[in-house]
Amino acid sequence: MPKLKSHSGAKKRFRFSARNKIKYKRAGARHLLAGMPSKRGRFLRKAGRLSGSNVKIIRKLLPYA
């Protein structure tokens, strides 16, 4: 059986933590930041973690991760 290809878009957007959880960068921290509360900006610095049915989808897109 041939090797499976990883999804190029998923490769760029998701990383695996040491405990095999899926991390991603939160949206909304690129531009139009002047009107954003500081608390929100600090929150967006932290990596997000996927949970639930989204994990199954991403695991299919990244078969060898």
pLDDT per residue over 18-64, tens digit each?
Answer: 999 999 999 999 999 999 999 999 999 999 999 999 999 999 999 98
**Global pTM value:** 0.80
Q: What is the mean pLDDT of residues 5-18?
A: 95
Residue 15 clears pLDDT 90, i.e. is over it: yes
* Overall residue count recorded for the chain in this entry: 65
Residue 65: pLDDT band with limits 50, 70, 90 = confident
**CA distances in angstroms from 58 to 5, 8, 23, 31, listed in the order given:** 13, 12, 11, 27
Question: Could you tell me the two tokens for 23?
Answer: 């991390």
Residue 61: the pLDDT is 95
Quote the tokens at residue 17: 């933590």
What is the Cα–Cα distance from 53 to 51, expressed in whole angstroms?
7
pLDDT for res 2: 93
